[in-house]
Amino acid sequence: MKLINIKEELIFKYLSQKTTEEENKQLLDWLEQNDENKKLFATLKRIYLEITVHLDTSIDPLQAYERFLNRINHSANDEDNTNFRKRQLITRFLKYAAVFIIITAIGLLAYYSGKKSLPLTSGETFEIEVPYGGKSSIVLPDGSIIWLNAGSHLKYGKDFNYKTREVYLEGEALFNVEKKNIPFIVHTSHLDVFVTGTIFNVKSYPDENEIETTLIEGNINVVSQNNKKPVSIKPNQMLCYRKKLDASEIVPVLKEKTSTIETAEVIPDNIMVIYKDVDIREAVSWRSGALHIEGETLESLVKKLERKFDVTFSFEDAKLKEYSYSGTLLDLPLEQVLEALKLTSPVDYVISEKSVRLSLNKDFIREHGK
């Protein structure tokens, strides 16, 4: 059998999920050629994962690049890769990845689902827009990292990190803010979030009635347009601003294991609700691709699915909107997610191109009495 030589850029494209079907077949043939190729591919995949995982958590990507250069030297001289061709392939592969690191380190790369979205210069602002079906991340000039969910739009000025650190968000984003003396401000349609350095999630879609801010680590103050008095929340709390509700209170969360209610505190004169002891996984699960939900109605859930899969849902029966769900929907194709819903509730579906029609499954109701 004729030996197949593989190019390092093809392996990098495959790990970056940018290959065609023909290129996938070429790589598969190369892997099936012998065990040495499989071992080499495993080595390159491990290196690639180390890079991308570090990018997802690091606040200082320039340091990441320095470590990465050391990794090039280490991997190229690894005693398990004495063959010259293998060392050559690994070295060139790492140089491709190094370019990836450099671009990200200077904050010019935003990537999502195999696509790229670079900041667009518009006058004195930079803008990043993520379409439905995608996700994106960006490193700001101050070293802060922002992960953007599908259907989100982020904007910041060219003077960011000099006199001010202000961003404007429409959609959902997870922030890991670098600590500095200059306050970091997230502006939404109705709320401003003030922080000096912390980790938090903000959801503010224009087609939803609620704006949510969930604090994971640190401290934040929230100011609404209706009341300029700052409201502070603590880690594991979620502030919910209701655009069309003129009422406010702190609402405790019912703990499932103990069935006890935490002490509630009331904050008057704000159109806000602060939930205590929330499950952080529910707020940030979107970043990994999974959806962790607790008591969420189908009407609310399909909005997330529309953004995630870039489809449009319609209900044949309005009663379906009221069904609620709890659990974790793994990062699976749309049809498998819908099958999971179908198995646990009286929901049937029909997919037609980029539309999904939901109907009431009467057979399920007869069998389960629901």
Instruction: Report pLDDT digits (tens) over 334-367.
Output: 999 999 898 888 999 999 989 999 999 888 777 7
Q: Please give the model's pTM, rounded to 2 decimal places.
A: 0.62
pLDDT mean over 18-27: 82
**pLDDT band at residue 70, thresholds of 50, 70 and 90?**
low
Instruction: Report the alpha-carbon distance of residue 85 to residue 222 in Å, rounded.
Output: 58
Instruction: Report the alpha-carbon distance of residue 22 to residue 31 in Å, rounded.
Output: 14
The secondary structure of residue 326, as a DSSP letter, is E
- pLDDT for 229 equals 81
Q: What burial class does residue 206 get, using C-beta atoms within 10 Å of its C-beta: 0-12 exposed, 13-18 middle, 19+ buried?
A: exposed
Instruction: Report the alpha-carbon distance of residue 345 to residue 364 in Å, rounded.
Output: 7
pLDDT at 53 over 80: no
Nearest to 351 by CA among 318, 299, 314: 314
pLDDT mean over 154-176: 90
- pLDDT for 308 equals 93
pLDDT at 168 over 90: yes
Instruction: Report the alpha-carbon distance of residue 51 to residue 364 in Å, rounded.
Output: 47
Tell me which of 3-12, 33-42, 200-209 is least confident.
3-12
Q: What is the pLDDT of residues 24-43, one digit of tens each?
A: 888 888 888 888 888 787 77
Note whether 282 and 258 are within 8 A (CB): no
Token readout for 300 is 């609310």
What are the backbone angles phi and psi of residue 83, rounded to the nearest 5°?
A: -65, 130
Per cent of the chain over pLDDT 70 is 68
**Domains of the chain in sequence order:** 8-105 (no CATH), 111-280 (2.60.120.1440), 289-368 (3.55.50.30)
